Structure 1
Amino acid sequence: MAKTTDPSRVFTEPSYGWCHWHKGTSGTAVLIEMVERQSGPAYGLYACAPCREQRGLVPFVGQP
């Protein structure tokens, strides 16, 4: 069976996410809030480092 994943590239490529606050791509976006819906699964809102700093946003894992 052929190998389809090159192990030397698995963790070296940058991972870009979406910042819901400035509505653009970001390499530093983290989960800020989970939004519940009446039907269907919840979805997450993500913010980049500059938006978190400007708006005082706390990552979801650091919230009480």
Structure 2
Amino acid sequence: MADATEGPRFDWCHWHNGPSGTAVLIRIIEQGSGPGAALYACAPCREQRRLIPYSEQP
């Protein structure tokens, strides 16, 4: 049984610049000084642009 307090999860897709319920991590941008960045893509953007989730990259 799912936790009643847990609702749908919405993230941001950096490729179409909008909210998404299917976004996964695609790229981590490391910077020498200051915090880095993480880029996420939704399922349609991953399919259209042939993006590979970070966890599946070599």
TM-score of the pair, normalised by structure 2? 0.89
Mind listing any 5+ residue stretches in structure 1 that lack a counterpart? 1-6
Post-superposition, which runs of at least 4 consecutive aligned residues in structure 1 deviate over 6 A?
A: none
Residue 44 (structure 2) pairs with residue 37 (structure 1):
no
User: What's the counterpart of residue 8 of structure 1?
Assistant: 4
Q: Percent identity?
A: 59
Measured in 1, the distance between the counterparts of 2:4 and 2:21 equals 20
Structure 2 stretches lacking a partner, 5+ long: none
Q: Provide Cα deviations, 1:17-50, integer angstroms capped at 9, x if missing partner.
A: 0000000000000000000112112210000000
Partner of residue 40 from structure 2, selected from 40, 46, 54: 46
Query: How many aligned residue pairs are there?
Result: 56
* Max Rg structure: 1
Superposition CA RMSD, Å: 1.0
- Which residue of 19, 22, 29 maps to 1:25? 19
